Amino acid sequence: MKSLVPGDFYWARSNKYAGGRTTIVQVSTIFGESPDFWTLAVPGSDQHHMIGDFEIIAPVEPLEAFPLRHAAE
């Protein structure tokens, strides 16, 4: 996986975090818009990790049967 997209979700694995289990992470720009400052956020927590700490496996594909809706809908 060469190009990450800010705000997108990915399947990832890390031996340092999540006990080596596959987990979902989101590319975060909370520390800056430049790719040098991007981190991986674990949804549902306040944890941010360096991108190099994870092996990115694949993008998370949204389920066609369950489209994402915004809170204003």
pLDDT at residue 5 in the model: 94
Q: What is the pLDDT of residues 5-37, one digit of tens each?
A: 999 999 999 888 877 889 999 999 999 999 999
pLDDT at residue 1 in the model: 45
User: Tokens 């975060």 correspond to what residue?
Assistant: 28
Question: Is 33 inside a domain boundary?
Answer: yes
Question: Is 65 inside a domain boundary?
Answer: no
Number of domains in the chain: 1
Q: What is the residue range of 55's domain?
A: 9-59
Question: Is 35 inside a domain boundary?
Answer: yes
Question: Is 67 inside a domain boundary?
Answer: no
Q: Which helix (H) or strand (E) holds 11?
A: strand 9-13
pTM: 0.78
What does the pLDDT average to over 45-71? Answer: 83
Q: Tell me which of 46 and 70 has the higher pLDDT.
A: 46
CA 43 centroid distance within chain? 8
